Structure formats: structure tokens, C-alpha cells
Chains A and B, each alone.
Chain A
Amino acid sequence: MNAAVIVFPGSNCDRDAVCALRDHTAKSVHRVWHRDTYLPKVDLVLLPGGFSYGDYLRSGAIAARSPIMAAVQAHAKRGGLVVGICNGFQILTETHLLPGALMRNAGLKFLCKSTPLRIENADTPFTRAYDDHGETAIPIAHHDGNYFADEDTLDRLEGQGQIVFRYVNNPNGSSRDIAGITNKAGNVLGMMPHPERAVDPLTGETGGLAFFKSLAGAMA
């Protein structure tokens, strides 16, 4: 069983995601170029962080229209797992695989810091190794992480258990402290924090280990 990491020309967390998957899910990991039009046979597609096409326009807007995304959407429709981290989350909202949008941080500045998170739903393929309603800490690094959706959508997300991670101290103005959500079917996850940067005690951050452990379980 395998994973694919999509590489856009401005992705810059692709290597980190590949390493974290390699080291913590023990699966083979393919890199897939943004201009490809098909995916290898994989269980998981990961859209990594970065600045896919420079993001001089709306973050993720151009990437959402890149050739590979049709295959990613088909993979999601088939029920395959999709994870979007940071810029990947922005791309997932731009492709409407996830509802809402990520606006400029409320403080209008790029923010890079360790962020305490609450696990709101530990019954997903992405979070089973976390304690339900437990807390962890994972770093963020973004300029556009302020999650927005209309009230009805937010209520629906709450009601259907689609809010997976919430900030304990909201750093960016996100509606209802949202740090990560899934789609209704529960197979597509978008999150602003970077679990792939939090898998090694030497870096001082280990809050992402349970995330990759969950994925390993889901792909077993």
C-alpha cells in the first residue's frame, strides 16, 4: 500500500512529507509532478505545504486548476484518502473538495509558531492514534490560515464531526478556532498545522507522530 505526494513547482514541504511518511508509515511514497494527469495506485494522496505557484494570486487558486488535480478529485470520489497540509489545505478548498476558504491571518502577518491543538474527532483515519478531545501541539507557518465559512456550513461541520483539529489559542482569526476539517465522507482532510515537522524529538516537536501513526493504521 502506497502514498503519493504531489509536487507543485513551488511546493516546499514535499520532501518533509515524503520523509515523514517514509519514516513513520513504512509505505512506499511516490512523488507525483503537478503536470502529470494520473496517479500511481495509492491509498493516500498528500498535498504538501509551500507556495504551489508562488501564490501571488489567491493561495492555492492556480494549483487547484493544475493537470494532476482531476486525478486527485477522482481519487477522493472513489473514497481514497487525501490530506492537504497548509498550502495543500488551501488547494483543497479552492478545488471545493473541502468547504470554506482560508483568508489572510487576522494579524495580517505570516506566523510561524508551535500551536496547541485540541483533537475534536479522534474517529477519523487521520486521528485514531490521538486521544479523543486530547491536546497536542503542532507548528503552523502560514500567512493565509484564517479559516472562513458561512454560519450554516460551520454548523454543519460541527454537527457532522467534520471539525477535526481546533486551536487552543486561535492564532489567525479562524472561525470557531478551526485548524483542520474533513469532508462529509471523512476521507479528505485539510489542516493548517504541519504534522510532518513534528515527528522528531530532537526538533522539540512530536505532536505529528500520532498523525502519521493514524495514517499507517488507516493504510494497513
Chain B
Amino acid sequence: MSMQKDPASYEQAQALGLNEDEWGVILKRLGRAPNQTELGIFSVMWSEHCSYKSSRRHLRKLPTTGACVICGPGENAGVIDIGDGLACIFKMESHNHPSYIEPYQGAATGVGGIMRDVFTMGARPVALLNALRFGSPDHPKTRALVSGVVAGIGGYGNCVGVPTVGGETNFHAGYDGNILVNAMCLGIAEQDSIFYSAAKGAGNPVLYVGAKTGRDGIHGATMASAEFDDETEAKRPTVQVGDPFTEKRLIEACLELMQTNCIVAIQDMGAAGLTSSSIEMADKGGVGIDLDLDKVPQRETHMTPVEMMLSESQERMLIVLRPGKESEAQEIFERWELDVALIGKTTDTGHMVLHHKGETVCDIPIAPLGDDAPNYDRPWVAPPTLPVINASEIAPGDPAKALLRLVQSPDMASKRWIWEQYDRHVMADTLKASGGASDAAVVRVHDTNKALAMSSDCTPRYVLANPFEGGKQAVAECWRNLIASGASPMAVTDCLNFGNPERPDIMGQFVRAIDGMAEACRALDFPVVSGNVSLYNETAGTAIPPTPVIGGVGLIDDATMAMGFGGAVAGDALILLGKTTGWLGASLNLREIEGREEGAPPPIDLEQERRTGMLVRTLIHGGQVHAVHDLSDGGLACAATDMALASRCGVHLMASDTLSDAAWFFGEDQGRYLIAVKTGAVDALLDQAQQAGVDAKVVGTMEGLDVVLGDAMPLALDLLSQKHENWLPAYMEDA
């Protein structure tokens, strides 16, 4: 048989990232050595990226069910019930490795890929977010990476016509060799028109649609499953090239096809392209699949079977049709001027069989690819416990000077230079986007009075200092941001970015961060419905700070009740909700002002978190507040400054009787919100907080045109705004 031509060797398997045990399983299952095509298929399916072999057993600890969950992890994206027969379908995914190698295309195709995961399931994409982490501003590569990644995200999303409404951007030397580009997409679908990937039933036609298959991205999944080294530049050919115009047509054509009764199963070709899409659909459907590779639309000549099977050319979908629906489906794609071809059918053999130029070039049983996929219990060590830093050992400093420095520090400075390059308003349903003075982005559900709130969050310095507390905090902060925008938090997606899992210390970070996330998701009734793991974010033995990004979604029943922090007016009292101890360990203040990256991060009392959040939600729904802002990086002073700048009104904050200025104004105790209310409403509100078991205290007033911290020198809003706005443009243009 021709499959036995050109048998692969163990050395070749090793070069593709398979180890001796994995090679042994392949030999046993096939009863022979795989040929080159088959080896290619096993190597990508069992790559970390596709098989989650280091992470699977730990991901199971995350809660994935809840009243709102229609479909949890395992499909292309998570699905939640948002009422009125509608569903929100969403997911976040990394495109870290390609974005470092080729920032524009790496980021652009990250956006394209995550949108496909969402519309594959029947949803029209309605919002995009991006969580970006770059190296130190002083690193020679950072500027070009920021410029390329931002242009790539904009270039793709703007053209497709889905608004990019939110995200976050951090800078830290820990990302000098491995930037993070995490893209999140939300879509909206009718609940009775959701599409899944199980290709049930033999004899159904398999339709290929979208762009042609080229030699780009071959072994991209394998690349994303290894560390970078000095040869990283040589991996540029593994990066794919995006074509948003094709994606736009693919969205419209697929959504049109979904209105018909043609589809059995549908899956986008993402990592490991035709291989993973066909195998996953067949595996979930309990069928086999026969493909004729000569029928695959090809961009280049003389492509080999393995090249076609591993290509990660973008903007391609695989669809299993009901028999007899071929021409109806093909006609739709032809009208959108997309390549479309019938390339095979499902079978009852349980095997994947590939034909090429008259020969059978692959014949492997499908079940073992999933069933026997490696599932490692990697050794891990518990992360060290860092000492709690006593605020009294930190110099109190001049809070005005500190605030002025913080507002222009790279992490706090305005990211206007970035988000003005993103179309935030297309689709005309964006109610709050980046720069919109809201802790979460808010997008109306089209033609309804409801809105979805969304936010992506992680504080890597907390996770590095204590992965368990940091994992909890990422979830809690996301929940808090949704609450502060007036939403009821519903569910999350995650994107877990870590270093090399074969190192026990890195594995320890991973395991404990998931433990923390799981605890917070449970306590806050905030299930994980989809996600992505990106490991091996490591260069020459140096790993990134552990960065488990949480993308949360909440529902606002009445869009007119969306809340922000720009509505405070002169005369308002500022009330701080939540308990303040003056926690400076692992804080932004400690890093930026004292130059110290030390100490345990702030702990979170999840019960208290929930109580405080529920109170804030009640206050917003009752129309009792003008502005709400959660306290995060930079604590009370930075939250109040945000509120002042957004509301165009000064703020006076009182100093603390018991805490130092640094601890009171910049401490990062968790579970806190700053709210602006009419003076006359203060007493009733303090009573209400007391009854709810939430610490509440008047900490200042909205007045004048300065930010005043206790007895410190007043800072004019204009000065703060100028410093806050100028850092990033000045940095980017200082080439």
C-alpha cells in the first residue's frame, strides 16, 4: 500500500516535537511506522497547542456549568443564554508566538481566527477586545512590536467591520522576548440556530470553503508549542497572512448558509488547519472521513499531502452538509466569490483516509488521535510564599508627586494612541468603548434594549507574586469591572499564558493560578465556558510573568442603565466601598515609585467581594449613583483621578487618620469601588451599606478643577490629563 511508502523514523518524529512514548503509541496503534503525512498529522494533533497535553487535567478543575450556560468548553466557543431566545457566543485566544515573529500579520490573523471560532457556531461577531502585553518600553524591539500589533489588529477588525471596543495593554521587561497578543470576540446568535462541530452520520458530503490553501503556517501549532531561541527569526514562514476581505465575505456567506437547512456540522480551519478541523468533526460525530486532496483549492503548485494537511492558511472553513444540499450551499459561496469545493465525505470506517494523485496517502484510525492523546501530569512545585510588606516600612512620600508619575507610567498612561486606530463604532451599537469612561465595554444587542458588558483582565505582577491569589484576582477584577458598568456578570472565557510547562516552577504557577481562578469563579458564580492555553512563552530559558487573562461577559437588561465613571458632578460626595488596609505589596506604587517589585499581592475575600458587588449593582439599578469606578492599579487616588478626568470636574480626597498617604491613596486592597453620589443621599447610602455588611466611608468630594490628595499640592486636571495622554504618543513617535 502506498501509505507504507516513505515510512517515518523516530528521529523525524522527535524533530516534530514527539517524544519516545508518543512515538511508541503511534507504532502500536498503526501496527506499522507512519508515513510522512501520517506523522505530520500525529505531530500537530499531539502538539501542546492542539492536545492540551500539559493542561487538560488541570483545566477540569474550573467550573463550567451554570444557569446561563448553553455550551461550555469543548466547542469552538462558549455559549450563554442572554434571554429572549438569544445567545452570546464568545472566546479568547492567544496569537503570541506569531505576533512576536511578524507583528502585523500575527496580530491580524489572531483577530481573524477568534472571529471564525465565533461565527462558526452561528453567531454574528459584534465585538472584539485585545489583551496585549509588551516588553519594557526601553527594549529596542518594543516600539516596532506595538506599532505592528496595533496596526494588524486594526487592519483586520476595521476591514471586517466588527468594532474593537476594549482591552488592556501592559509593558514589562518580563515580556521582552515573548509578547502576548490575546484576542477576544463576542457574537450574538439565535438560540435555535447554534451550530456544532459533531459530524454525525456517514455518507455526508464535506465542503471546503474560503481561501485557497497555501504553504503558509505549516507547523504553526508546533511552533506555538516550543520555546523561542536564537533561531526564532527563521520561523517567520510559519506565520500566516490574513485577508480580512475574504473573512468578511466568509462571515456573510456562512451566516447566510446557516439560515438554510444544509449544515450537519461546521468548523473553521484554525491551528493545524485541515487536519484538526476534519479530525475533530469526525471524532465528535463518531464517524470516519475520506478526503480527496486533489480537490482542495490550492494557491501553490506541487503541494504535498502533508503540506496541505498542515497548512494554516487563513479564512477557510470545513462544512459537513446534508446529502443533496451541495448545490444550494455552493451557490451561496459562489455569490460571495469564495472558493468552494466538495473534497470528500464522512464514512463509517472510523478512519481518516486521504487520497492524492490516485494513491491513498494516509489511513489512520481517528479515535486514538483523541483517546490516546498524551495527557501529562507534569511535576510541579508550589510557588514560594512572599513576605507581606508592611505599609509602615514604605516612605509615605509626596502623594501629589507620586500621582503625577503614576498617571504617566506606561501601564497607567492613556492608550488613546492604540484605540484610536480601532474602529470602535461600526455596527452602531457601541455604547461604551475604550476611552468611554467605563470599567467594561458595553455593546447593545442589536434592535433590543439590552446590552452586553465585557472586560478582559489580569494583573500579572500579582500572579507572579502569588499565582493562587493572582488567579483569584484576575477573575474578581473582571467581575468587578462588569458590576461597575451596571451589568450582571454571567460567564468568562480565559487565555492562560505561561512559560515552559516542563519546568516544575512554571507548572506550579499554572496549577496554582487555575486553583485560584476556580475558587473565584465558583464563589462568584462566574463559570468558564471557553478558553485557550498558551504555554512555552519563554525565550532562552526566561519565562514571561504568568498571565492568565480573564475575559468576562455580563448582561445589562436595560441599556439606559449602563454605568460609567464619567458622570460625577461638582458637589457630589465620593464614597469608598470595601475595606482598606493600605496594601502596598506588589502594587503599582511600589514598583513605579519605590522601584521595588516585591511582596505578597493583596488577598481577596470572595464572600466580601460578592456582597460588595451586589450592593453596587443594587445602587446602580436604583439610580442612586452618578458614577462608579472599581479600584485597581494605583488604588484610590488613581480611581478618583480617572473619575475626575472623565467627569471634567476636580476632586478632593481626604487623608487617612490611620494610614500613611502612600498606603491610603495608593494601596491596592481588593474588592473596592469608588462611587459618586448627591450629598443628600450620603446618609441613607451609608446605612444601606452597613445593612449589606459592606464597609463604606465618605472619602472626598467632587469640586474645582484640581485633584487634591489630603494636604498635598493640588494638581490641575489639565496637567494630569496632559501627562496621562502624552506618554504613549511621545514614546511611539520618539523613533
Inter-chain contact B423/A112, CB cutoff 8 Å: yes
Closest chain-B Cβ to A148's Cβ sits at a distance in Å of 22
Contact of A203 among B151, B154, B431 (CB under 8 A): B431
Q: Taking the complex as formed, is B425 at the interface, i.e. its CB lies under 8 A from any CB of chain A?
A: yes
Residues of chain B lying within 8 A (CB to CB) of residue A200: 428
CB of B160 within 8 Å of the partner chain: yes
The complex places the Cα of A109 from the Cα of B422 at a distance, in Å, of: 10
| CB <8 Å contact, B249 and A110 | no
User: Are A202 and B560 touching (Cβ within 8 A)?
Assistant: yes
- Contact of B161 with A by CB under 8 A: yes
Answer whether residue B54 sits at the interface, using C-beta atoms and an 8 A cutoff: no
Question: Complex formed: what's the CA distance from A12 to B163 in Å?
Answer: 11
Q: Quick one: closest A residue to B421, CB to CB?
A: A110
Chain B residues with Cβ under 8 A from A143's Cβ? Answer: 158
Q: At the interface, yes or no: A163 with Cβ under 8 Å from chain B?
A: no
Answer yes or no: A129 CB below 8 A from chain B CBs. Answer: no
CA distance A50 to B251 in the complex (A): 15
Given contacts A51-B159, A109-B421, A141-B158, contact A16 B428 (CB under 8 A): yes
Q: How far is the CB of B200 from chain A (nearest CB, A)?
A: 33
**Is B629 among interface residues, defined by CB-CB distance under 8 A?**
no
What separation, in Å, do the CA atoms of A162 and B478 have in the docked complex? 50
Q: Determine whether the beta carbon of A19 is less than 8 Å from that of B425.
A: no
Interface segment out of the listed B240-248, B407-415, B577-585: B240-248
Q: A9-B337, A54-B243 are in contact. Are A112 and B425 (CB under 8 A)?
A: yes
Give A132 to B273 CA distance when docked, in angstroms. 57
Set B158, B425, B429: member contacting A110, Cβ < 8 A? B158
Please indicate the chain A residues that have their CB under 8 angstroms from the CB of B436 in the complex: 204
Residue ID in chain B nearest A109 by CB atoms: B421
Measured CB to CB, the closest approach of chain B to A89, in angstroms, equals 16
For B562, what are the chain A residues with a Cβ–Cβ distance below 8 Å? 202
Report the separation of the CA atoms of residues A199 and B151 in the bound assembly, to the nearest whole angstrom.
29
Given the complex, which residues of A lie within 8 Å of B248, measured CB to CB? 9-10, 12, 51
| Contact partners of A38 in chain B: CB under 8 A | none
Query: Per-residue 0/1 for A15-58: is the Cβ within 8 Å of any B Cβ (1 yes, 0 no)?
Result: 11001100000000000000000000000000001110111100
Does A194 touch B at the CB level, under 8 Å? yes
CB of B559 within 8 A of chain A? yes
* Residues of A contacting B425 in the complex (Cβ-Cβ under 8 angstroms): 112, 139, 141, 194, 197, 203, 205
Q: Does A196 contact B (CB under 8 A)?
A: yes
List which A92-139 residues lie within 8 A (CB) of chain B.
Answer: 109-113, 139
Q: Which residues of chain A come closer than 8 Å to B431, judged between CB atoms?
A: 202-204
**Cβ 8 A contact of B154, one of A50, A56, A110:** A110
A205 to B248, CA, bound (A): 26
- Given A51-B248, A53-B245, A203-B431, A9–B336 Cβ distance below 8 Å? yes
- Nearest B residue to A200 by beta-carbon distance? B428
Residue pair B421, A112 in contact (C-beta under 8 Å):
yes
Once the chains are docked, how many angstroms separate the CA of A13 from the CA of B429?
12
Q: Which of B121-160 contact A (CB under 8 A)?
A: 151, 154-155, 158-160
| B426/A141 in contact, CB under 8 A | yes
- Bits for A125-169, please: 1 = Cβ < 8 Å to B, else 0: 000000000000001010100000000000000000000000000
B485 at interface, CB cutoff 8 A: no
State A110–B560 Cα separation when bound (angstroms).
30
Specify which chain A residues have a CB less than 8 angstroms from the CB of B91 in the assembled complex: none
B219 interfacial contact with A, CB 8 Å: no
Among A16, A111, A141, max chain B CB count under 10 A is at: A141
Let me know if B249 and A10 touch, CB within 8 A: yes
Residues of chain B within 8 A of A51, CB atoms compared: 158-159, 161, 244-245, 248
The answer to whether A13 and B421 touch across the interface, beta carbons within 8 angstroms, is no
Asked whether A109 lies within 8 Å of B337 as measured between CB atoms, the reply is: no
Interchain nearest-CB distance for A69 vs B (Å):
17
Interface residues of A in 180-198 (CB under 8 A from B): 194, 196-197
A111 to B560: give the CA distance in the assembly, Å.
28
**CB-CB under 8 A for A202 and B559, given A9-B336, A113-B420:** yes
A16 in complex: contacting residue of B245, B424, B426, B560, CB < 8 Å? B426
Whether A50 and B422, one on each chain, are in contact in the complex, defined by CB atoms closer than 8 angstroms, is no
Q: Which residue of A lies closest to B253 (CB)?
A: A9
Cross-chain contact of A112 among B243, B252, B424, B429 (Cβ < 8 A): B424
Say whether A12 contacts B161, CB under 8 Å: yes
Expressed in whole angstroms, the Cα–Cα distance for A15 and B248 within the complex equals: 14
Closest chain B residue, CB of each to CB of A194: B425
Q: How far is the CB of B682 from chain A (nearest CB, A)?
A: 29
B632: chain A residues within 8 A (beta carbon): none
Shortest beta-carbon distance from B60 to chain A in Å: 40
A202 to B558 Cα, complex, angstroms = 11
Are the C-beta atoms of A16 and B421 separated by less than 8 Å?
Answer: no
B252 neighbours in A (Cβ, 8 Å) = 9
Tell whether B427 is near chain A: CB-to-CB under 8 Å: yes
Mark contacts of B410-450 with chain A using CB atoms, 8 A cut-off: 1 yes-contact digit, 0 otherwise: 00000000011111111111110000100000001000000
Report whether B244 and A54 are in contact in the complex, using a CB–CB cutoff of 8 Å. Answer: yes
B420, A12: Cβ atoms closer than 8 Å: no
Cβ of B702 to closest chain A Cβ, rounded Å: 20
Q: Report the minimal beta-carbon distance from A105 to chain B, rounded to whole angstroms.
A: 10
Contacts of A109 in B (CB 8 A): 151, 420-421
Q: In the docked arrangement, what's the CA distance between A49 and B425, Å?
A: 12
CA A202 – CA B559 in complex, angstroms?
A: 8
A109–B154 Cα distance when bound, in Å, is: 10
Chain B residues lying within 8 Å of A53, measured Cβ to Cβ, are 245
Known: A12-B159, A112-B425. 4 other contacts (CB 8 A): A9-B248, A49-B426, A112-B158, A196-B428
Chain A residues within CB distance 8 Å of chain B: 9-13, 15-16, 19-20, 49-51, 53-56, 109-113, 139, 141, 143, 194, 196-197, 199-200, 202-205
Between-chain CB contacts (< 8 Å), 27 pairs: A10-B245, A10-B248, A12-B160, A13-B161, A15-B427, A54-B159, A54-B243, A54-B244, A54-B245, A55-B159, A56-B245, A109-B151, A109-B420, A110-B155, A110-B423, A112-B158, A112-B421, A112-B422, A113-B420, A141-B158, A143-B158, A194-B425, A196-B428, A200-B428, A202-B444, A202-B562, A203-B425
